[in-house]
Amino acid sequence: MDPPTLNRVVLPSSRRDLAALSDTVHPLGGGTWLFSEPQDGLTELVDLVALGWTPWVARADGGLSIAATCTVAQLVAIPPRPGWRALPLFRQCAESLLQSFKIWNTATVGGNIATALAAGALIGLAGALDGELVIWTPDGGERREAVSSFVRAQRSTSLLPGEVIRSIELAPEAMAAETAFRRIALAPLGRAGTVLAARRDPRGGFVLCVTGGTTRPEVLRFPELPSASSLAAAVGAIPSWFSDAHGAADWRAAVSVLLAEEIRQELDR
């Protein structure tokens, strides 16, 4: 779909060209959401892909820096490397996106997080791995924010006009964690009812991120593997379940308790 109010797409050659961003001039990632529905008031797009950012970089400290323009296909193609035990979670989360090969090859990590859908598969990934966004601000500086607080509600983030997500940073401890994943939908190829992504750090800490059935990423954190009853209580206390065609709030809460316990047992090794 061509948004009817869109006049032009700008190809930036440097960060300076991002100064054009405003209330009506937005960043373009892969365009899979932007061109899928009307965008009231949008007059211009600035195509971030033209900036040619390297999709991902192995950090010197053992962490991983993922460019906002890294596509889903590039994300899941990151090769294994010693110390990166969390890598299988990347594909598990990416495959929970309901998508065609076009979306797989075009949608970007930054675009997925900025869109802030409950089904934001890479929001769950970044939530479980404590991903931190590097956000370029219009004054030429940058700010950092955890993905879990950046996404405030469905289609709502802390991003201000003129700001651009530059990268998603994953710390070495998160990359070294054992991970587990569960997703359930009412239909075999249906949109997610609930999605749970979790990690257990080398030092024992346990982090569970629940998305899909909650209006925002819900991150539960324990200093060590919790007991079955404490985990069930924490998942049951999540306040932001919602009901829609893909599941009722009470079903989402109940099934998430069961799936969280499966994850707890899987990571109890």
Ligand X SMILES: Cc1cc2nc3c(=O)[nH]c(=O)nc-3n(C[C@H](O)[C@H](O)[C@H](O)COP(=O)(O)OP(=O)(O)OC[C@H]3O[C@@H](n4cnc5c(N)ncnc54)[C@H](O)[C@@H]3O)c2cc1C
36 forms part of the interface with ligand X (CB under 6 A): yes
Residue 36 or 156: which CB sits closer to ligand X?
36
Torsion of CA 18, 22, 41, 114, to 10 degrees: 70
- Map the footprint of ligand X across residues 152-171, applying CB under 6 A: 159, 164-165
- Map the footprint of ligand X across residues 60-99, applying CB under 6 A: 68, 97-99
Residue 70 or 171: which CB sits closer to ligand X?
70
Q: Which stretch binds ligand X (CB under 6 A): 22-30, 139-147, 174-182, 246-254?
A: 22-30
Neighbours of 220 (CB within 10 A): 19
194 forms part of the interface with ligand X (CB under 6 A): no
Q: Residue count of the chain, please give it.
A: 269
48 forms part of the interface with ligand X (CB under 6 A): yes
Minimum distance of ligand X from residue 83's CB (angstroms): 27
242 forms part of the interface with ligand X (CB under 6 A): no
Minimum distance of ligand X from residue 211's CB (angstroms): 9
Minimum distance of ligand X from residue 15's CB (angstroms): 12
29 forms part of the interface with ligand X (CB under 6 A): yes
49 forms part of the interface with ligand X (CB under 6 A): no
Query: What is the number of the residue whose Cβ is closest to ligand X?
Result: 111
Q: Which of 110, 124, 193, 213 binds ligand X (CB under 6 A)?
A: 110
Q: Which stretch binds ligand X (CB under 6 A): 24-32, 143-151, 219-227, 256-264?
A: 24-32
112 forms part of the interface with ligand X (CB under 6 A): yes
81-88, Cβ contacts within 8 angstroms, sequence gap of 24 or more: 83/172, 83/175, 83/176, 84/175, 84/176, 85/175, 85/176, 85/177, 85/178, 85/179, 86/129, 86/170, 86/174, 86/175, 86/176, 86/177, 86/178, 86/179, 86/199, 87/175, 88/179
Neighbours of 120 (CB within 10 A): 27
Contacts of 157 (CB under 8 A, 6+ apart): 113, 114, 116, 150, 151
Minimum distance of ligand X from residue 34's CB (angstroms): 4
217 forms part of the interface with ligand X (CB under 6 A): no
CA separation, residue 86 to residues 83, 119, 170 (Å): 9, 21, 10
Contacts of 249 (CB under 8 A, 6+ apart): 213, 241, 242, 243
**How many residues line the site for ligand X (CB under 6 A)?**
30
- Contacts to ligand X by CB under 6 A: 26-34, 36, 48, 68, 97-99, 103, 107-108, 110-112, 114-115, 117, 119-121, 159, 164-165
